[in-house]
Amino acid sequence: MDRQPAVYILASRPRGTLYIGVTSNLIARAWMHRKDVVRGFTQQYSVHLLVYYEAHSTMYEAIAREKQLKKWRRAWKIQLIESMNPEWRDLYLELRA
């Protein structure tokens, strides 16, 4: 997963506050969120659990998907997360393994 465009969703807890982002290095970016390296929304609302991600072949595709997901209703986002991760596991731990 190193250096691969991806869109991701973080959560504060299962069905909690959600954050959608895009990156070219998912492991590094998830670590930054976990450690509150960058001030902002995820730090303020303790949104640290990586609960969903999609790899894309280009950054353009990842950004387009991020914009699409940000327009979705919350219920749709929860359904998307639960289709891949019904237990709301922290996928960061699996990516690092």
Looking at the domain assignment, is residue 18 inside a domain?
yes
Q: Find the CATH number of the domain harbouring 33.
A: 3.40.1440
Domain that holds residue 64: 6-94
Number of domains in the chain: 1
Across the strands, what pairs with 50? 10
What are the DSSP E strand ranges found in 6-88?
Answer: 6-11, 18-23, 49-55
Residue 21, in any domain of the structure: yes
Residue 1 located in a structural domain: no
pLDDT digits (tens, 9 = 90+) for 33-74: 999 998 999 999 999 999 999 999 999 999 999 999 999 999
Query: Residue 2 has what pLDDT?
Result: 60
Q: List the one residue out of 8, 5, 92, 85 whose CA is nearest residue 49.
A: 92
10 inside domain: yes
- Per residue in 77-88, pLDDT (tens digit) is 999 999 999 999
Query: What's the pTM?
Result: 0.95
Does 4 score more than 60 pLDDT?
yes
